[in-house]
Amino acid sequence: MDEFWTYVGNKGKKYWLIYAYEREGGEIVAYVWGKRDLKKVQRLREKLIKLGVSFGCICTDDWQSFVTTFKADNHVISKAYT
Highest-pLDDT range among 40-44, 59-63, 64-68, 72-76: 40-44
Domain ranges, residue 14: 2-77
Q: How many residues does the chain have?
A: 82
Q: Is residue 70 part of a domain?
A: yes
Confidence at residue 26, expressed as pLDDT on a 0 to 100 scale:
87
Strand partners, 59: 76
Asked whether residue 81 carries a pLDDT value surpassing 70, the answer given is no
Q: Is 3 exposed, middle or buried (0-12, 13-18, 19+ CB in 10 A)?
A: buried
Confidence at residue 74, expressed as pLDDT on a 0 to 100 scale:
80
Residue 26's Cα: distance from chain center in Å?
A: 14
Give me the number of domains the chain comprises: 1
Q: Residue 82: pLDDT band by 50, 70, 90 thresholds?
A: low
Asked whether residue 50 carries a pLDDT value surpassing 90, the answer given is yes
E strand map for the chain:
2-7, 14-21, 28-34, 58-60, 75-77
Cα–Cα distance measured from residue 61 to residue 82, given in angstroms and rounded to the nearest whole number = 7
Q: Is residue 58 part of a domain?
A: yes
